[in-house]
Structure 1
Amino acid sequence: MESIVDQNLGEIFYENFKAIGDTEMIALINKVNNKKISYRELFVASLKTARKLKDLGIKEGDFVGIMSDNRLEYIVPILACFYLRVIIHPTNSSYHLTELKHAYSNSKPKIIFTSNDKIGKVVELQNETDYIKKIINFDDNYLDIIEGGAILESIEKSSDCDRKTTAILTSSGTTGHPKSVALTQGNFKFAMSNFKYPIFSYSSETIIIGMLPFYHIFGLLQIISILYYRVKMVILPKFQPVLFCEIVEEYKVPILSIVPSIADFLAKHPIVDKYNFKSVNDIVCSGGALGYEIQTILEKKFNCAVRQYYGMTETTGLIMACILGKKCKPGSIGTPVPGVEIAVIDAQTNNTLGANKPGEICVKGDLVMKEYLGNPEATRATIDERGFLHTGDIGYFVEEGDFFIVDRLKDLIKYKSFQVSPAELEDVLKSHNEITDAGVIGVPDERAGELPMAFVVKVKNSKISEQNIIDYVAERISVQKHLHGGVRFVDDLPKNSTGKLLRKQLREML
């Protein structure tokens, strides 16, 4: 494959698919309905879709939206937009109308791709706005394009696209309203170049599970990278425990890309023991901190490496990773990927800190977003005058170079003169055999400032009491980190699509 440095994304995928030829190498499999699509079929479908978009008057710089769950066809309009240098904007498939309207308020896509189960919301959006020219339904008029449409015969070549926006992704919204993150061709090319050894070990024989939502940076980066590296993916629209385990056993999946909530499932749920996971030799977790206890359980249970990688939408995914073959310290997110500069900065003084001193992790390099679309004030608040993007995460590095995340800058609990990490407390709580999940926040207190309080999901039929949990924590952690605010039992915790705990919603439950 030709170097991606001197090509735009459209050329990269056009030439890559063209080189595969007429072979029926399978690219994607949908586990739910057992449908398959080959690389050749993807290529033809994307060329026909690009031609249709062009015939509809869509041109370079226009926006095209996607609102759908993971499915075989999801990647087709993305590839088509790459060919035409059109900007793609996938959105959360569970959005309500108000959220959808906010997400598209700046990009105003002329075309939106959707599916039968989501089209009602998109039609409502079209009725309440004036920018949607056409809705293309994967289950309806999209089929007319694929079955009878003309093919885009060629694509325009251009080598000056690296600073041009190619995708808009919505930030997680865990700190304020979700923002439209503008990512460039250069951002994605940089990220794709790091989605290989020694961070991931892919070959044409590799099979992975496509379960992370494709509208999320990690899900999107995963699918475009595996298509570039010609890997086979088995798709799940959402996490379904039985189907997940069946895929691992049936396809002998070697690499599991998961989020912390699925790590908890793999570590504790009895259904996992009913399936053959011997093929798994690498577990990679992202989307939130993986606690030491869970990581240790997984390493022993599956007798394989359990690694973490760290990133965010604003940095096109990867910032740091535990690389293959290197033994990272337990709980570490690894070391910076090649080409990335990291600074740990004191949030009060703005001074750069040395080893073992927690501060805000700031990042600089070709992975940093172009801007928050339509929000220059938020862009300036996030990217400083030196070009460092402030992640809002508190972390530190040790002398050996491994980095650790302590917590979100705004999530730290101020108990008297101490800063208490909710993530640390959650790790202790989830190590209890009768606790399946836990979330910790600070509750206001006149004397102490804030008191650590836990929301706990118990194992079914467990008789564990609030005092049992308070005592359990007190036996394992220093006094300022005790659950002075108490414990509340809940059936489940509010999380986003990648399993990240939404502390703001926890506070609203008080």
Structure 2
Amino acid sequence: MATIPAYYNNNSINSLNSENKNNIENNSAVTQNIVCGPKLQYVQNRSVGSYIFERLNSHGQQIAQIDPITGDFTTFQDIKLLSLKLAKGLRNIGIGHGDVISICSNNNLDVCLPMLAAMYVGAVVSPLHSSLCRPDFKHLLAITKPKIIFCDYPSIEIIRKSLAELKLSVDLIIFGDSKIHQSLEGFLNLHCETGDDITPFDCMDPCNHVAFIVPTNGTKDLPRGVMITHGNILHHLQSHWDTDWSNLSMLSTSTMFSITGIKSMLACFDHGNIGILAPEFDPNVIAKIINDWKGDLVLVLSTIQLSKIVNYSKINDYNLERCKVVITYGSKLSDVHYKLTESLFNTAVLLVGYGSVETTGIITTPTTKKYSVGVPDPDTEMKIIDPETGRALGPNQPGELYIRGKRIMSGYYEDQLSTCEALDKDGWYHTGDIGYFDADQCLFIEGSLSDKFSYKNCEVMPFEIENVLLGHFEIKEACVIGVRNKLDGARAKAFIVRDVNSTISETRIKKYLEGHLSPFKQLHGGIVFMEKLPYTPTGKINRRKLMKLP
């Protein structure tokens, strides 16, 4: 049963300063170096399932989702009826409030059904992905212990092997046909006829009911299960950015394994937008979808994915004018990729946001200020802390970003120690990211505290070196880490993917860096050339794998 243990409950997480005075320009306020978003009046005393059910009902026979490869589609009415039917099936086999189900699949038209069905019966959704390495996959299965797993065909092997090693017996339901396991269609036919007698689960205290256990990226250690409550999701859905989303279809490559994939899908169900379910990320496929789409689009990509799109050698062969909004998030966007995005998507508004799984995804309202990741979302407090003194810093002083508000996670599932390290007694989430606010309360992120290292007592931020490397036209991708050294503390080591047809050498790259960076920011740890960098299922560079390489 997935419930919030007593030590996770902290009323101060939702305790916000009521005396803030709004800033006229961006509606944020500053009190004792705490930057606060505006107040939000929103519906609270219900579940995500009951809320989305009403929204699906209101959109009727409009198209809800499209498979851009096959052209197949489903309507909001289709999704409502099938998810209700599946909810009855789950209830008939004994799955209900607090039970965990897993979904392990790339995007398809049916992947939303078990998610909605689980929320209708009060169950918790724990997403997985087959591209995880076996130890990470097993770890997530071991802590969540799902009662049933819905998956696509390519995921069967890693699931079966992991379950066998853990000695767990779990039923698999397959999206599509399978000769060995039960299909989703077969499950529906066997366990239920209709969902007419199902009333979606509701709750009066959504902040204390877990809706999702979403894995962290696992870029530096084993992934942890982040508990996202119904209250977290409800607040997000009702915190609308000052953007007209009507008549926009949403193209996102994120699967349900990521909080972005979950939120994008639910946002489309809420607003009535068409969700374009792209397959696994491929620059050529994404560019073709944008080129061929007949309506206006909002494109949602991580900064890593966006950099791959703008670096794609054939991107100029496609018409990108249908893209009206580009939303990006994740690691900092390099100078060269920022400029390329503005040039290639010249009919679109570029919105750069900040967030993590622990903040229920993006938790800033993007602004048009270049390189800023925006201002705090409604009911959100942020402050910059000096890691040495613990003092809240003023404008233009970098330090660790702390966040408190209604979208902060309840904790890490079955991991009290990590929860207590991330959430302090006053409800502040310690992000581990380095950033600062300018005089207009706009947030800028410089990198991760855990990535920073010291070379001969001089602090080095990897992103600063990566940004310069990516400015060279023969370098396609770059990642810098600090390699421990007895004499110097740590030395910068770069993993580089050359551009197509490039033969640039280590000597030339080092010569290039000498003209752009100070001596202590040089690549004293060397350079490793790779055909491609390792990535997590959510599109972040897997630094944990790079650290293990010789």
Asked whether the 8 Å contact 1:191–1:318 carries over to 2, the reply is no
Q: For the residues of structure 2 that align with 1:278 and 1:419, how far apart are their CA atoms?
A: 43
1:92 aligns with 2:135: no
Asked whether the 8 Å contact 1:470–1:487 carries over to 2, the reply is no
- Paired amino acid for 2:140: A
Q: For the residues of structure 2 that align with 1:424 and 1:307, how far apart are their CA atoms?
A: 22
Which piece of structure 1 moves more, 359-368 or 349-358? 349-358
1:475 aligns with 2:512: no
- Paired amino acid for 1:266: I
- Paired amino acid for 1:281: K
Give the TM-score taking structure 1 as reference length.
0.93
Task: Tell me which residue corresponds to 1:32.
Answer: 69
1:295 aligns with 2:338: yes
1:165 aligns with 2:210: yes
Which piece of structure 1 moves more, 283-292 or 119-128? 119-128
Task: Tell me which residue corresponds to 1:419.
Answer: 459
Asked whether the 8 Å contact 1:470–1:486 carries over to 2, the reply is no
Task: Tell me which residue corresponds to 2:349.
Answer: 305
- Paired amino acid for 2:357: T
- Paired amino acid for 1:215: F
Q: For the residues of structure 1 that align with 2:165 and 2:127, how far apart are their CA atoms?
A: 19
- Paired amino acid for 1:178: P
In the TM superposition, what are the counterparts of 1:167-182 in structure 2 within 5 Å?
167-182=212-227
Give the TM-score taking structure 2 as reference length.
0.87
Task: Tell me which residue corresponds to 2:381.
Answer: 341
Task: Tell me which residue corresponds to 2:525.
Answer: 485
Render the CA deviation track for 1:93-130: whole Å, top value 9, x for unaligned.
32354432210222211111112222233333444446
- Paired amino acid for 2:254: L
1:62 aligns with 2:99: yes
After superposing on structure 2, the runs of 4+ consecutive aligned residues of structure 1 that deviate more than 6 Å are none
1:282 aligns with 2:325: yes
Asked whether the 8 Å contact 1:283–1:305 carries over to 2, the reply is yes
SS at match of 1:109: coil
Render the CA deviation track for 1:241-283: whole Å, top value 9, x for unaligned.
2221121012144322112233223323231111111122322
Render the CA deviation track for 1:474-497: whole Å, top value 9, x for unaligned.
222333322233322221112212
1:405 aligns with 2:448: no
- Paired amino acid for 1:189: L
User: How far 1:227 moved relative to its partner?
Assistant: 1.2
Which piece of structure 1 moves more, 475-484 or 207-216? 475-484
User: How far 1:201 moved relative to its partner?
Assistant: 3.8
Task: Tell me which residue corresponds to 1:11.
Answer: 50
Q: For the residues of structure 2 that align with 1:305 and 1:478, how far apart are their CA atoms?
A: 35
- Paired amino acid for 2:87: A
Render the CA deviation track for 1:270-329: whole Å, top value 9, x for unaligned.
311111111223222112211122112211232243221111111111222414xxx21x
1:120 aligns with 2:165: no
In the TM superposition, what are the counterparts of 1:139-158 in structure 2 within 5 Å?
139-140=176-177, 141-146=183-188, 149-152=192-195, 153-155=197-199, 156-158=201-203
C-alpha distance 321-452 of structure 1, shift in aligned 2 (>3 A): farther
- Paired amino acid for 1:7: R
1:210 aligns with 2:252: yes
Counterpart pick for 1:234 among 276, 286, 289: 276
C-alpha distance 336-373 of structure 1, shift in aligned 2 (>3 A): same
Q: For the residues of structure 2 that align with 1:267 and 1:236, how far apart are their CA atoms?
A: 18
Counterpart pick for 1:315 among 359, 362, 374: 359
Task: Tell me which residue corresponds to 2:21.
Answer: none
1:104 aligns with 2:141: yes
Which piece of structure 1 moves more, 182-191 or 497-506? 497-506
Give unmatched runs, 5+ long, in structure 2. 1-40, 178-182
Task: Tell me which residue corresponds to 1:187.
Answer: 232
C-alpha distance 54-280 of structure 1, shift in aligned 2 (>3 A): same
Asked whether the 8 Å contact 2:241–2:365 carries over to 1, the reply is no
Q: For the residues of structure 2 that align with 1:117 and 1:43, how far apart are their CA atoms?
A: 27
Task: Tell me which residue corresponds to 2:84.
Answer: 47
Asked whether the 8 Å contact 1:361–1:394 carries over to 2, the reply is yes
SS at match of 2:314: helix
SS at match of 1:104: helix
1:364 aligns with 2:416: no
SS at match of 1:209: strand
Asked whether the 8 Å contact 1:9–1:82 carries over to 2, the reply is yes
Render the CA deviation track for 1:338-376: whole Å, top value 9, x for unaligned.
111112112222221112221111110111111111111
User: How far 1:401 moved relative to its partner?
Assistant: 1.4
C-alpha distance 442-131 of structure 1, shift in aligned 2 (>3 A): closer
Give unmatched runs, 5+ long, in structure 1. none
SS at match of 2:446: strand
Q: For the residues of structure 2 that align with 1:291 and 1:322, how far apart are their CA atoms?
A: 17
Counterpart pick for 1:465 among 492, 505, 508: 505
**How many residues get paired?**
500
Which piece of structure 1 moves more, 491-500 or 44-53? 491-500
Which piece of structure 1 moves more, 461-470 or 382-391? 461-470
- Paired amino acid for 2:98: G
User: How far 1:335 moved relative to its partner?
Assistant: 1.3
Counterpart pick for 1:223 among 258, 265, 269: 265
- Paired amino acid for 2:56: F
C-alpha distance 132-4 of structure 1, shift in aligned 2 (>3 A): farther
Asked whether the 8 Å contact 2:105–2:255 carries over to 1, the reply is no
C-alpha distance 405-3 of structure 1, shift in aligned 2 (>3 A): closer
Q: For the residues of structure 2 that align with 1:446 and 1:134, how far apart are their CA atoms?
A: 51
